[in-house]
Amino acid sequence: MPIRINLLAEAQAAEEMRRKDPVKRGVWVGAFLVALVALWALEIQLEIRLAKSKQSNAEAGWAKEQAKYQAVTNQQAEIMTIESKLAQLDRLSTNRFLWAPTLNALQKSVIDDVAVMRMKGEQTYTREPAHLVGKVMAPGVVTEQIKLTIEARDNNPAEQGYNKFKEALNSSDYFIHHLGRKDSFVIEGVLSPVTADPNDPSRQFLTFTLASHFPEVKRSE
């Protein structure tokens, strides 16, 4: 029986040992894991870029919607301001002071020997802005003040026509109702000296002024 001698057995054994070297296998495994991590990192980067792109699109869309919302909000604010002004004008038109009835009551109160030379009506408005009362915001208020001044001439001072005219005004139903009392008209200042009438020196006259204040009216803004 022939005897076979493998002269390369030692070299082959060394080569087999090298193939089975755990360090080499570890390197391959490490390289594979590094490749996996690199792929995972690349996927994460792609997802981040996609998310940023979606975010940019969303922000652009939000900016457009915000501009529309702001425009609508501004229009609503303008509409509310206009409606408030219209409501104030409506209140003013329905609650404003009317001078025609005052003039009518005045002409019905004129007596003989007294001539009205001038009538002046003063309307002033004082605005009090909205302010805090404790923790509650009180609305603004506009106060209306009306003063009526009548300058007249008494052509018969001996009969004190100025007092009779004052009493006639204070007895007028209109003035009692709107002024709130029967002694609203008072003589303002002093009576002028009794003077001879230039057109008829046998007659004398004096001038006087009557004044009255209507009750204040407060209107909220």
Name the band, by pLDDT with cuts 50, 70 and 90, for residue 131. confident
List all residues 6 or more positions away from 97 whose beta carbon is below 8 Å from its beta carbon: 123, 144, 146, 214, 217
The mean pLDDT of 133-161, rounded to a whole number, is 87
Query: Over 90: is that where the pLDDT of 119 sits?
Result: yes
Region 78-94 average pLDDT = 76
- % residues pLDDT > 90 (the chain): 30
Q: Which of 100, 103, 98 is nearest to 123 (CA)?
A: 98
- DSSP lists the bridge partners of residue 123 as 146
pLDDT for 91: 66
Single pTM value for the model: 0.55
51-55 long-range CB contacts below 8 Å, 24 or more apart? Answer: none
Per-residue pLDDT, 208: 96
* Per-residue model confidence (pLDDT) at position 191: 92
Please state which CATH class domain 99-220 belongs to.
alpha beta
Between CA 184 and CA 176 the distance in angstroms is 8
- Cβ 161 vs Cβ 113: under 8 Å: yes
How does pLDDT run across 159-195, given as a tens digit for each residue? 999 999 999 999 999 999 988 888 899 999 999 999 9
199-207: Cβ within 8 A, 24+ apart = 203/155, 204/157, 205/153, 205/154, 205/155, 205/156, 205/157, 206/153, 206/154, 206/157, 206/162, 207/117, 207/151, 207/152, 207/153, 207/154
- CA-based R_g, the chain, Å: 51
| CA–CA separation, 177 and 105 (whole Å) | 11
Decide which of 59 and 170 is more confident.
170
Confidence of residue 72 (pLDDT cuts 50, 70, 90): confident
Question: Taking all residues of the chain, what is their mean pLDDT, rounded to a whole number?
Answer: 83
Give the pLDDT confidence of 3-57 residue by residue, as tens digits.
666 556 666 666 666 665 566 666 677 777 888 888 888 888 888 888 888 888 8
pLDDT attached to residue 77? 85
Can you give the pLDDT at residue 2?
A: 61
